[in-house]
Amino acid sequence: MATMNAPTMDRRTHGERRTSVRGHQRSAMSALDYLAMALLIVGGLNWAMVGLFDVDMVATVFGSGSPATRILYVAVGLAALYSIYTTAKMAGSKRP
């Protein structure tokens, strides 16, 4: 007969699945990602100031040609390269 007592899957008896799966994943952004994003924002705003008002804020704050200015420029460039790498890695992981 087709009316046998088949085991049922009652959702109330099972734990919440989303919490157990999410507990094993790492956060969406790491500290390095946040640092790279902050450096890119500083660099983008600086380039906007250069383009709009011909004022280099980084050179104004740290001195034109000073080691601190050059270090910050290099850090912004490295942040851009890291973001390119991260974007390529994310694009590659979404492909089946």
Q: How many domains does the chain have?
A: 1
Query: Rounded to a whole number, what is the largest CA-CA distance in the chain?
Result: 89
For residue 53, is it within any domain? yes
Q: The whole model's pTM is what?
A: 0.67
For residue 8, is it within any domain? no
For residue 10, is it within any domain? no
Distance CA 73, CA 53 (A): 19
For residue 52, is it within any domain? yes
For residue 12, is it within any domain? no
Q: Are 79 and 86 in contact (CB under 8 A)?
A: no
Domain assignment of residue 53, given as a range: 29-93
For residue 3, is it within any domain? no
pLDDT at 49: 97
pLDDT at 28: 81
Count of Cβ atoms closer than 10 Å to residue 80 Cβ: 15
For residue 19, is it within any domain? no
pLDDT at 16: 58
For the chain, residues with pLDDT lower than 50 are: 21-22
